[in-house]
Amino acid sequence: MTDISKQDRVLIFDTTLRDGEQSPGATMTLSEKIEIASMLDEMGVDIIEAGFPIASEGDFEAVTEIAKAAPNAVICGLARAKDADIDRCWEAVKNCARPRIHTFIGTSPLHRDIPGLTKDEMADVIHTSVTRARNLCDNVQWSPMDATRTEADYLCRTVEIAIKAGATTINIPDTVGYTAPRESAEIIRMLIDRVPGADEVIFATHCHNDLGMATANSLAAVEAGARQIECTINGLGERAGNTALEEVVMAMKVRNDIMPYRTDIDTTKIMAISRKVATVSGFAVQYNKAIVGKNAFAHESGIHQDGMLKNAENFEIMRPEDIGLSETNLVMGKHSGRAALRSKLENLGYDLGDNQLKDVFVRFKALADRKKEIYDEDLIALMSDSNAQAEDDHIKVKFLRVVCGTQAPQSAELTLGVGGVDQQITASGDGPVDATFNAIKELVPHTASLQLYQVHAVTEGTDAQATVSVRMEEDGKIVTGQSADTDTVVASAKAYVNALNKLMVKRLRTAPPEESKSA
């Protein structure tokens, strides 16, 4: 047996709260970010990229608050190669126990064209910006954005400048998910071989998944010498997303025989954080997603089930409990007590304080009154729903009664609490959901357009809970709301209201500067 403590350590840099949150519709509130940061910290993530402090007051505040919730990790803020960005970033991270400034500039021909800089002019900007960051902070990461489409010689030159100016980590972003494993490895190898001072810094890999190769590209970079992987939970991120944390970590664990690298991640915490990120971002995990998908450990075919019963290793390369999935799907019901609920939720990865448990227990009892058997999936939906409906929400669904059936028009009688004041209305529409949405729109007028309305049955049976997702867009701002209920129309109303609440949060935040959006 190899001694794992002697293996090369790969640092895990999580950017769920920065690159992940940049995904259209994945807006998170401050309290959601804080909860995720604390879970990332507890699971052993080395560096948390907490935001882009110059982008908005909200991002600035998030970075400082996240630092308090994550006392062990290095807290990193992002900054363009501009004095104001770097200074603002330092303001946000300077009181963290272990701060890092991450500054970047697009080095590929296409990106050099945007500010209209020559290679020499850009080289000067890199020198000045990294020097400025290093004068403020001992821990500086530099990224040549779109590195994989940057000319090899120029990439080496810029990395050398950044190292000389004091960068301690050099991150190589595959910004548009263009590279492939062999090339990803070659770039890292080339930089290590050719750049003076390369042995004094840590090389990082930052991949996007446009061609579905982010995990393979990240691992190839590690084999070539990179010792930091940048990733997000569930692979959340713009377009096809970023490298998924759970995939690279589990790949190195399961195939440690051929990838002998060590991380500090407690993999049993993966499932809980995956669910949390899916809930708060509104980006559901696809059923057949590696590691965290609902079907990742499900064996339906007869041959597989038979093989599994004889020996789980026949068809399982890792155990469900390795990622924090409880094996049992013990059914609960209205006679189940608080202790049983707490233990069940702990098994599912939810660690609740007494007050939270009290609140969830009330919801659990209400659900059990309507639904005889409560499965794991029901509890997960219940937890997602309690996350979605926050005490301090500006808009709340108080009462809803719909009239539906073959006789038009269908109508909805609705009471919303808006800023603490109850408001009522009755509206009609083409079906009960349309009538309900019309009622909400009359009580809370807005110009956001509905982009997606999706309903999923959580379990089987006609008393199953429905989870509803609603995606809305207003002036380029996209938000996703979610809710669950045994009544599909109630779940729809709450999901719509959840989206509106998120939109209000987003309106308060200024849009990030144009150039930063491609990051």
Task: Provide the minimum distance between the beta carbon of 88 and Zn ion in the complex, in angstroms, as a whole number.
Answer: 20
Q: Which residue is nearest to ligand KIV (CB)?
A: 173
How many CB atoms are closer than 10 A to CB 308?
15
Stretch that binds Zn ion, among 13-21, 186-194, 412-420, 485-493 (CB under 5 A): 13-21
Q: Minimal CB distance to Zn ion: which residue?
A: 19
Task: Considering only the stretches 11-19, 385-393, 443-451, 500-508, report the one whose residues sit in contact with Zn ion under the rule CB under 5 A.
Answer: 11-19
**Does residue 66 sit in helix, strand or coil?**
helix
69 touches ligand KIV (CB under 6 A):
no
3-state helix, strand, coil in the chain (%, to 5): 45, 20, 35
Does residue 19 touch ligand KIV according to CB under 6 A?
yes
Which region, judged by CB under 5 A, interacts with Zn ion, from 14-22, 57-65, 185-193, 435-443?
14-22
Q: How are beta strands 395-403 and 410-418 bridged, if at all?
A: antiparallel
Minimum distance from residue 14 beta carbon to Zn ion (Å): 12
DSSP code per residue over 296-309: TT---SHHHHHHHH
Contacts of 393 (CB under 8 A, 6+ apart): 497, 498, 501
160 binds Zn ion (CB under 5 A): no
Residues paired with 205 in a beta bridge: 172, 229
Dihedral of alpha carbons 51, 58, 483, 431, sign: negative
Per rule CB under 6 A, is residue 177 in the interface with ligand KIV? no
Binding mask 20-59 for ligand KIV (x = CB under 6 A): ----------------------------------------
- Kindly state the smallest distance separating residue 329's Cβ from Zn ion, in Å: 37
In the range 137-176, which residues lie near ligand KIV by CB under 6 A? Answer: 143, 145, 171, 173, 175
Q: Which does 145 bind (CB under 5 to 8 A by kind): Zn ion, ligand KIV, none?
A: ligand KIV
- Integer Cα distance of 503 and 509 in angstroms: 10
* Helix, strand, or coil (residue 435): helix
Enter the DSSP assignment of 242: B
Residue 133's H or E segment, with its range, is helix 119-136
Of 307 and 512, the one with the shorter C-beta distance to Zn ion is 512
Nearer to Zn ion, 101 or 348 (CB): 101
Judged by beta carbon, residue 59 or residue 393, the one nearer ligand KIV is 59
Q: CA 204, CA 221: separation in Å to the nearest integer?
A: 8
**To the nearest whole angstrom, how small is the minimum distance from the Cβ of residue 75 to ligand KIV?**
16
Query: What residue type is assigned to position 136 of the chain?
Result: L
Residue 19 contacts Zn ion per CB under 5 A: yes
Taking the C-alpha atoms of residue 207 and residue 515, their distance in angstroms, rounded to an integer, is 19
146 near Zn ion, judged by CB under 5 A: no
Rg from Cα positions in the chain: 24
Own/partner contacts of 457-463, CB < 8 Å, gap of 24 or more, are 458/375, 458/377, 458/378, 458/380, 458/381, 458/484, 459/375, 459/377, 459/378, 463/370, 463/371, 463/372
**Interacting residue with ligand KIV among 90, 104, 261, 437 (CB under 6 A):** 104
Taking CB within 5 to 8 Å according to partner kind, which of ligand KIV, Zn ion, none is near residue 143? ligand KIV
217 binds, among ligand KIV, Zn ion, none (CB under 5 to 8 A by kind): none
Segment lying near Zn ion (by CB under 5 A), choices 16-24, 58-66, 128-136, 506-514: 16-24
- Least separation in angstroms between residue 410's CB and ligand KIV is 46
Please classify residue 463 by burial: count the beta carbons closer than 10 Å to its beta carbon, then call 0-12 exposed, 13-18 middle and 19+ buried. exposed
Residue 228 touches ligand KIV, criterion: CB under 6 A = no
Is 206 a binding residue for ligand KIV by CB under 6 A? The answer is: yes
Quote the tokens at residue 149. Answer: 């489409």
Query: Residue 65, interface with Zn ion (CB under 5 A)?
Result: no
Amino acid letter, 180: A
Q: Is 41 in the site for Zn ion (CB under 5 A)?
A: no
Instruction: Provide the terminal-to-terminal Cα distance of the chain, rounded to the nearest Å.
Output: 42
- Given the complex with Zn ion, which of 23 and 486 has the nearer CB atom? 23
Nearest CA-CA partner of 29 in 516, 506, 484: 506
SS3 414: strand
The size of the chain, in residues, is 519
Taking the complex as a whole, the smallest distance from the CB of residue 172 to ligand KIV amounts, in Å, to: 9
- Enumerate binding residues for ligand KIV (CB under 6 A): 19, 104, 143, 145, 171, 173, 175, 206, 208, 519
Positions that interact with Zn ion (CB under 5 A): 19
